[in-house]
Structure 1
Amino acid sequence: MNQFSAVSPTPAFTPVNALQQHAEAMQCQPLGDLLRSEHGHGRARALQWTFGSMHVDASKQRLTPRTLELLSQWATSCHWEEKRQALFSGKPMNASEGRAALHMAARWPLETQAPAGMATAVAECQAQQRKLAGLVDKLHAGRWCGATGQPIADVLHIGVGGSDLGPKLINEALGDVPAYRRIRVHYVSTMDGAQLIPLMEELNPAATLVVLASKSFTTADTRFNVQTALAWLSEALEVEKSALYRSQLIGISAKPDKMREFGIPEAHQLTFLNTIGGRFSVWSAIGISVAMALGMPVFERLQAGAHAMDRHFMDAPFTDNLPALLGSIGAWNTQFLDISSHVVLPYDGRLKSFTPYVQQVEMESNGKSVSAAGQSVQHATSPIVWGDLGPNAQHAFYQLLHQGCHTVSADFIAVARHDVTASAGVTDALREQQALTLANCLAQSQLMALGDAAIPAGLRGKIPPGYRGNHPSTTIVLETLDAWSLGALMAMYEHKVFVQAVLWGLNPFDQPGVELGKKLATGLHQKFVDGPQEQGVDDTAQVCDPATGQLLEQILQWRNAGTS
């Protein structure tokens, strides 16, 4: 070669380049080979971690210890430790809104000193929790009476998104036995009134307390539901709405001025910080319905589990840090293995709302294609998160998972022990059911990993092949589903999302993508109320397209026919 020959420069080493090269090699190595190689047992031991009463097993992920080493280098190059420190120090992590992200302050224990940048927020959250506890005690003591003097027996919790999903999940998971519930709580979130209508027929209006939960206090879904609920109470009880505001309405918001304008007395207002995002707000006063339904000790134990995960996330090195590991493994699957679909499969009926909760936390946080610096992102970010209860999903979409054309990643979530107070015969029958549920969880994760190789020798030739396998999954096992473990589990997913945002350069604490659709709906709503405007009238709040115009015309025709 002469001195003028072209020489391709060696690309500079970066963790991302190294991960891309590593991913190319891993694409050629089936997950079954990793699991059943001569190093399989050692690999399995190296890819499992225990935190309190939670066990996490990532051995069915398509990775090796070398993958974790490269992921750690990537996280270090993204300054994840410094950004973690900044998060807990109250720095403005939500750059687009100029705010910190201090949902951890709402669950910080009274006896533990908070980081300097979080101390003021912690003090404010604890003051609101004391007020919350006073309202809950009044309710449980039977001293809270409605406008006509009847003690409150039911709570109507009206919210949407983070003001609904978190409290609803917790009440379902921990209040599965009627004896556990101190008072009945009913959740209303859909803007069409479909959830509210049957409750208005079922509940006693004289004994129903309305909880209006909205961070901004302007969300249309919540506002319309509250208007309808108050109209029902006012007409049924033949009292003015002002009397209801004093006796049968609680407001929870980050906007106390808007609650005052609405007419809610200060004694029935609970506030939370602007620095607490809606989808991270269940630990704040938004969680009052949890305390009302299950009692303050349960709510405090839930917060304690979440705080324990906060401390673990703050202090543990990457190699043992569960949120960092789950976040980086998820980013590995999405960005480097090109797996854009992630299914969450709880194998416990009490966790039926866990998947929708995770959907919001992950997709509303990191479902973005613009970085925190305002630049277009050149790689995949949040996967599409979906799923259902595992036993139900086996009869709904597991056919696609096992023999379809899509590769997915998965989280399997199981509960090892479900203690129930019952007769000996019923207890034995339930233990057998629970054993079958756990067996299905492990079997399905095994089949997703191994595919046809999971068919036992005795069944070969009797079961048609075609199981694709090679779907990576993590299995999370809780010893029991109690308040502490549920709090730790939810907080782990919150911090997982933060880690992924650091790796992808995103701001996980804003959600600009939800706003434009709401603004377009405002203009269309006016058309439904007033009818189509005359041609030529300027409508700056609406973009016209023939497809939407046709639908509007058809719907108006049917709506008008129903009122004629």
Structure 2
Amino acid sequence: MNASLTAVSHRLYTPVNALHAHAEHLQSQSLSDLIGASSPSARERASALAFTLGSLHLDLSKQRITQETLSLLVDWAQSCGLEAKRQALFAGKKMNTSERRSALHMAARWPAGIAPPNGMESAVDFCQHQRLRLTEMVERLHRGDWFGATGQSITDVVHIGVGGSDLGPKMISEALADRPSHTHVDVHYVSSMDGAQLLPLMERLNPATTLLVLASKSFTTADTQFNIRTALTWLSESLEVDMPTVCRYQLIGVSSKPDNMTEFGIPDAHQLVFKDWIGGRFSLWSPIGVSVAMQLGMESFNALLEGAHAMDRHFLETPLIENLPVLVALVGAWNCQFLNISTHAVLPYDGRLKSLPAYLQQLEMESNGKSVSLDGRSVAHATCPIIWGDVGPNAQHAFYQLLHQGGHTVSADFVAVASREVDAPQAVKDSLAAQEQLTLANCLAQAQLFALGDDAIPAGLRGHMAQGYRGNQPNSLLLLKQLDAWSLGALIALYEHKVFVQSVLWNLNPFDQPGVELGKKLATTLFNTMTGNSSEQDLVSDPSTEQLLHKIGEWR
């Protein structure tokens, strides 16, 4: 009888069941219990949950986990075949099963002279060839040898893209171009389909010295096509030059569809190509990043790739229990699936990283925001939290009140920068250094308050201020030594690999995005309706939408 019960118990045991049981056990322990006072065990726990790679430091000690939690999470990852799937990813296997493609964005940052994994060789060769073409374009522009249709040297670049063709390059440009004296040309980003970003640029830029970069993987995205046609019309009308001539001198195309670029009128010498095995939201390392290189120079762009490659090697070669992307992914899945925390805040404590939350929204939610697994079955749990956030010091004056004393449980990533080099008079440097210390103090204080709640109130302040800080909000702190190209590359690659690891845990394809397609098709139908070019049967009958169409028509 006992042997029979043991056999049944063994059959019922799975890493997921063990994690659910462990989560139930941990419900009785708060983060205050886990972090504790300055006891030896608390110090040991904090030390065991801190990890460093180069100039990137990860602190998981304010997560609701123990060493047992990590051990169970690693067992789960191993039971999902993570190590074999990691090898398959780097070997160019068709990990994007729905589109029957590899996912080899890592090839775009693989260095020359270092042998890639078996299966990635041809991808690396192709990417390095395109990087040489990109370098030639960048150097030509920086020498002042790129002339517009009227013979004047280019001074400004307008990067036109959307989604992955915009968010990544824009974020890098904002983060690393903090000193205008260190930039080579001014780069401006346009993504919104309503023309709101494009119109101010047309009003203030010199059309004779403006170069357009059309960044579109498919070369069919409506947002981008409408923006580029408006921009080209502006250049043509302003310069009194026909559109084909403008395309020949003042347009670069970046796409996986070279034939479409040629048909559009972009000369071969101004085309940069990446393959369809680089997904849009993983593409900033590819020629999609040409505007970043033009703005910052090839030295900075190459350092960005080097940082990402260092994280690639770490992810590929390091045991799971010490692997930064794996650990971040496992803890994120633990919070979402087992602690039932459905929302995750990204809180950078550096204004240069203001677009990091928006970038990670797309990277994570478009990749793993799915409820159907690879085998076609419905997933019975949430697969990705809602990602959101803002620059931490600003957020403190906006939504932290709800996070600290409201009824919602959130998890969070705090991102901070330890030091910053500034070219300025000494008195200004000293003043800025004090600001940096204040920013870091706020970051550490808020992370502590998220975790401890009322227990973070010093004894001397108890009874003199409002309580009700709920605490127990798990958070990680990612600390960069400096916000330089290498560190930023490593940070973004960490998040990319986090997405892949979680897709393995949840049995998803993170490299497609079928959920965005139907909305685009409906929008096309409605656009045709508004312009009088569609028939009744093209529309799904919907009284709410019909009345809105009527009101728009009335007001237009």
TM range (shorter): over 0.9
| Equivalent residue in structure 1 for 2:98, among 85, 96, 107 | 96
Q: Does 1:558 align with 2:544?
A: no
Q: What is the rounded CA distance, in whole Å, between the counterparts of 1:174 and 1:186 in structure 2?
A: 14
Return the alpha-carbon distance in structure 2 between the equivalents of residues 328 and 556 of structure 1: 51
- Deviation of 1:9 after TM superposition, in Å, equals 4.9
- From the superposition, tell whether residues 146 and 333 of structure 1 become closer, same or farther in structure 2 (CA, over 3 Å): same
Deviation at 1:86, TM superposition (A): 0.1
Cα drift, residue 7 of structure 1? 12
**Correspondences of 1:354-433 after superposition (within 5 Å):** 354-433=356-435
Q: Which residue of 2 aligns with 1:240?
A: 242
CA offsets, 1:380-409, max 9 Å, x none?
Answer: 101000000000000110001100110000
- 1:545 maps to a residue whose letter is D
Alignment-derived partner of residue 272 in structure 1:
274
SS of the residue aligned with 1:116? coil
For residue 492 of structure 1, the aligned residue among 491, 494, 497 is 494
Q: Following TM superposition, by how much is the alpha carbon of 1:557 offset from its aligned partner in structure 2, in angstroms?
A: 1.1
CA deviation profile, 1:216-275 (whole Å, cap 9, x unmatched): 000000000000000000000000001011100000000011111111111111000110
Aligned residue type for 1:433: Q
The correspondence for 1:525, drawn from 524, 527, 541, is 527
Counterpart CA distance in 2 for 1:32 and 1:68 is 19
| 1:190 aligned residue | 192
Structure 2, gaps ≥5 residues long:
none
What SS does structure 1 have at the residue aligned with 2:301? Answer: helix
User: What residue identity is the alignment partner of 2:15?
Assistant: P
CA–CA distance in structure 1, aligned partners of residues 187 and 267 of structure 2: 22
Q: Render the CA deviation track for 1:12-66: whole Å, top value 9, x for unaligned.
A: 2110000000000111111111001642111000000000001100000000000
Equivalent of residue 539 in structure 1, options 519, 530, 537: 537
Deviates more, 1:434-443 or 1:352-361: 352-361
The DSSP-based 3-state class of the residue aligned with 1:481 is: coil
Q: Aligned partners of 2:138 and 2:8: how far apart in 1?
A: 68
**Letter matched to residue 228 of structure 1:** T
- 2:181 counterpart residue number: 179
Q: Deviations over 1:92-136 (max 9, x none)?
A: 000000000000000000011111211001000000010011111
- CA separation in 1, counterparts of 2:223 and 2:453? 45
Offset at residue 530 of structure 1 (A) = 2.0
Q: For residues 265 and 7 of structure 1, what CA distance do their matches in structure 2 show?
A: 71
Q: Counterpart of 2:134 in structure 1: which amino acid? A: L
Is 2:535 the counterpart of 1:549? no
Give the alignment of 1:119-138 within 5 angstroms.
Answer: 119-138=121-140
Q: Does 1:15 align with 2:12?
A: no
Taking the aligned partners of 2:497 and 2:508, their CA distance within structure 1 comes to 14
Count, aligned residues: 552
- The separation in 1 between residues aligned to 2:337 and 2:284, in whole angstroms, is 30
Q: Which residue matches 1:59?
A: 61
1:106-185 correspondence to structure 2 within 5 Å: 106-185=108-187
The AA in structure 2 aligned to 1:539 is: Q
> 1:80 maps to what in 2?
82
Amino acid in the other structure paired with 2:75: Q
| Counterparts of residues 333-352 of structure 1 (less than 5 Å) | 333-352=335-354
**Letter of the structure 1 residue corresponding to residue 191 of structure 2:** S
Runs of at least 4 residues off by over 4 Å: 6-9
Q: TM-score, normalised by structure 1?
A: 0.96
C-alpha displacement at 1:459, in angstroms? Answer: 0.7
- Superposition pairs for residues 2-41 of structure 1, below 5 Å? 9-10=8-9, 12-36=12-36, 38=39, 39-41=41-43
Q: Which amino acid aligns with 1:270?
A: L
Classify the secondary structure of the residue corresponding to 1:49.
strand
Number of the residue aligned with 2:305:
303
Partner amino acid for 2:346?
V
| C-alpha distance in structure 2 between counterparts of 1:294 and 1:7, whole Å | 64
Residue 326 of structure 1 deviates from its aligned partner by 0.3
Find the residue that maps to 1:117 and give its secondary structure.
Answer: coil
Following the alignment from structure 2 to structure 1, what is the Cα–Cα distance between the partners of residues 387 and 494? 16
Distance 1:466 1:549 in 2: 48
CA–CA separation in structure 2 for the residues paired with 1:372 and 1:484: 35
| Bigger mean CA offset, 32-41 vs 385-394 | 32-41
Helix, strand or coil for the counterpart of 2:537? coil
CA distance in 2 between counterparts of 1:245 and 1:118 reads 35
Q: CA deviation at 1:319?
A: 1.1
CA distance in 1, matches of 2:52, 2:393: 25
Structure 2 equivalent of residue 562 of structure 1:
none
1:539 shift after superposition: 2.1
Q: Please list every run of 5 or more consecutive structure 1 residues that lacks an aligned counterpart in the other structure.
A: 560-564
Where do residues 223-234 of structure 1 align in structure 2 (5 Å cutoff)? 223-234=225-236
Residue 353 (structure 1) aligned to one of 347, 352, 355: 355
2:510 corresponds to which of 504, 508, 511 = 508
Segment drifting more, 126-135 vs 34-43: 34-43
> Matches of 1:177 and 1:396 in 2, distance apart?
28
| Identity, % of aligned positions | 64
